[in-house]
Structure 1
Amino acid sequence: MTKSRAKLDQLNYRPSGRDLDVEIFHFSDLRRRVTSEQILALYHYSFHTLICVTEGAVTQIVDFQPVNCAAGSLLVLRPGQVHSFGSDKGWDGWMVLFRAEFLPSETQTTADLLPVLGLDRLPDHLSLFTADFGAVNEAIARMQQDAGSPAPPKDVHALLRYELCALLLRLAILQDQHMGIDIAQSPGVQRYARFRRLVEQNYAGWHQVSAYAAALGCTEKSLTRAALEATGQSAKNAITARIALEAKRLLVHTDRPIYLIAEGLGFAEATNFAKFFSRETGFTPIKFRKQYKN
């Protein structure tokens, strides 16, 4: 695993020479323009990235966990996540980079256009069947072609925005089909989705299931049942895992003192944070940081 640190937006990839709010290119194009060291760095994203593997196989790293990717694999990487390509050889695929503001927000969407909610429904890793992979590959290829259109930038932006919304909605539909429509639309899974959004917004301050249950207007038992139905893990485990993940990200991609990381994650004492981190990861905060920074 690489111990380097970087941000992908520092690579300044602009293959079209135009300032667009979305970039579409092949991984092999990126590989030809940067060094192997840059490719193999451990990245901390400030934007959304879709990686659709079109040929070969590679084990990539998402939030410090290995993900085996073959042709038809699609990674959905979100702002704040940590990622490594794993290898710069033996595979190729599409990369689609866009910032959250490029998508319509919930307050901007119509009843028929819900890309933000569709993005929330996607897991980090999808495995597409042959027919679905063909449709997704074709959609991304069309976006790349349209990005180079000589049309006025305003029109190109609008076209790419609609195409990206359509792509994300297609992926959300495929994910629902993979789960089973009845399961994907069940009250428990829907409640868990709302819970996960709340966790993303409040994990640093809300460490107890009771706070989320109160915000959702349900009991702790019903929220735990929803979490078990959706993931097989309890709501408490979901909260704990999210806090531990953010701690890992901050330890690796910032030089912030550990006591400030502890404070920012809602721990009254750095010693309590250290005990929590060691219990959840098997490493002390100092050892974990050294593993990636040395």
Structure 2
Amino acid sequence: MENGLNTVRQLRYLPALGAAYGVEVLSFAGLRAMDTRHRRVQPQRPDFHVFALVGSGTGTHEADFHSYRLREGGVVWIRPGMVHRWSDIDDCDGPLVLFQPGFLPGLTASEAAAPACWHLDRQRLSLALLAAEHLDREHSTAVRTPRLASPALLAHLLAALVLRTLPDTPPATDARRSGSRHTDVFRTYRATVEEHFTDWHQVADYARALGYDVRTLTRATRAATGAGAKTFLDQRILLEAKRLLAHTDLPVSSCARRLGFRDTGNFTTFFRRQAGTPPAAWRTAYTGSGGPGETGPRSTAPPRPRS
């Protein structure tokens, strides 16, 4: 997203010296101290996860066309590829955990189902902050005393933190009870969608490539996300379409080509069906309104990617 209406910074995971374990613990205060030029308020797209707890204070942030208010007990989970900005975190404090994709592969299904931001009650927040403190202490020890470093321990502590904070989910359905097989199938489907969504627009394409039938992919995706495989795929294409329209000045026809549509008419029909308005009208409304208009429980920080 180099040329655009709002240039998006591409953030790469670059850990601090001596902290190359695939995970790093910062804080809102530390982020503000590092980011003296306030680049955090500009759109950015990280290639890593940011998992943050708001221990105190209030603020706002935006991610993928939603604006969210932050307050005590807030949890923020920015996944790789999200376009976001910290609109206002001057009064927020709490831990920020940065970690690389694949560091917690077993949580893929939970990650897909979780929102970008939600809220914890005081008791759960207290437990989550303790878990984050434990992770921070082990990480600091690993940096100071490499002989005591244990990436596996850091991964377990991060998993405990995420599991402690994940929002409540509905009671398990029969599909969820089948457990690991559905998780593995969805994980494979999701990774393949990420790789091929600009070329393959039908679930049957993925079924053939992965050796599953369409019903298997649909059941696994619904178990993980609550939506079917086709809806999951269409929403991924739509999200990328919105990113292109909002953050580049590419004409609609070029956006269509980048997303694998043979002609602009097909892309316009798809976008109108999914978003309720044609792509050009959506872009005009978005840029004219100055950005996200939805508010609710979603963002990321520049980690140590240094500019």
Normalised TM-score (structure 1): 0.72
- CA–CA separation in structure 2 for the residues paired with 1:215 and 1:12: 34
Q: 1:168 aligns with which of 153, 159, 167?
A: 159
Pair 1:151–1:98, CA change in 2 (3 A): closer
Residue 209 (structure 2) pairs with residue 208 (structure 1): no
For 1:245, what is the secondary structure of its paired residue?
helix
Q: 1:288 aligns with which of 274, 278, 283?
A: 283
Q: Which sits farther off after the overlay, 28-37 or 243-252?
A: 28-37
Q: 2:267 aligns with which of 270, 273, 280?
A: 273
Q: Is the 8 A contact 1:46 1:80 kept in 2?
A: yes
- 1:148-205 Cα distance to aligned partner (Å, 9 max, x none): 448667446x435522343225524764964446678423864555543443233222
Could you say which residue in structure 1 is the equivalent of 2:9?
7
Q: CA deviation at 1:219?
A: 4.9
Q: 2:105 aligns with which of 84, 100, 116?
A: 116
Q: Is the 8 A contact 1:54 1:71 kept in 2?
A: yes
For 2:57, what is the secondary structure of its paired residue?
strand
Q: 1:244 aligns with which of 233, 238, 242?
A: 238
Q: CA deviation at 1:7?
A: 3.1
- CA–CA separation in structure 2 for the residues paired with 1:164 and 1:130: 25
| Identity value in percent | 26
Aligned length: 276
- Written as runs of structure 1 = structure 2, the 5 A alignment for 1:187-206 is 187=178, 190=183, 192=186, 194-206=188-200
- CA–CA separation in structure 1 for the residues paired with 2:12 and 2:216: 45
Could you say which residue in structure 2 is the equivalent of 1:65?
66
Q: Is the 8 A contact 2:56 2:71 kept in 1?
A: yes
For 2:76, what is the secondary structure of its paired residue?
strand
- CA–CA separation in structure 2 for the residues paired with 1:283 and 1:193: 32
Pair 1:286–1:162, CA change in 2 (3 A): farther
The aligned amino acid for 2:19 is L
For 1:272, what is the secondary structure of its paired residue?
helix
Q: Relative contact order, CA 8 A, sep 6+: which one is greater?
A: 2
- CA–CA separation in structure 2 for the residues paired with 1:210 and 1:219: 8
Could you say which residue in structure 2 is the equivalent of 1:264?
258
- CA–CA separation in structure 1 for the residues paired with 2:221 and 2:262: 28
Q: CA deviation at 1:28?
A: 2.3
Q: Is the 8 A contact 1:146 1:160 kept in 2?
A: no
Q: CA deviation at 1:63?
A: 1.6
Q: Is the 8 A contact 1:176 1:184 kept in 2?
A: no
Could you say which residue in structure 2 is the equivalent of 1:98?
99
Q: 1:137 aligns with which of 124, 129, 135?
A: 129
Could you say which residue in structure 2 is the equivalent of 1:235?
229
Pair 1:148–1:230, CA change in 2 (3 A): closer
Could you say which residue in structure 2 is the equivalent of 1:109?
none
Pair 1:283–1:44, CA change in 2 (3 A): farther
Q: Which consecutive segments of 4 or more residues in structure 1 shift more than 6 A?
A: 10-13
The aligned amino acid for 1:117 is G
Q: Is the 8 A contact 2:32 2:90 kept in 1?
A: no
The aligned amino acid for 1:284 is P
Q: Which sits farther off after the overlay, 249-258 or 46-55?
A: 249-258
Pair 1:86–1:186, CA change in 2 (3 A): farther
The aligned amino acid for 1:42 is P
Pair 1:57–1:288, CA change in 2 (3 A): same
Q: Is the 8 A contact 1:147 1:160 kept in 2?
A: no
Structure 1 residue runs without a partner (length 5+): 104-114
- CA–CA separation in structure 1 for the residues paired with 2:39 and 2:214: 45
Structure 2 residue runs without a partner (length 5+): 292-307
Q: CA deviation at 1:268?
A: 1.4
Q: Is the 8 A contact 1:278 1:285 kept in 2?
A: no
Q: CA deviation at 1:58?
A: 3.6
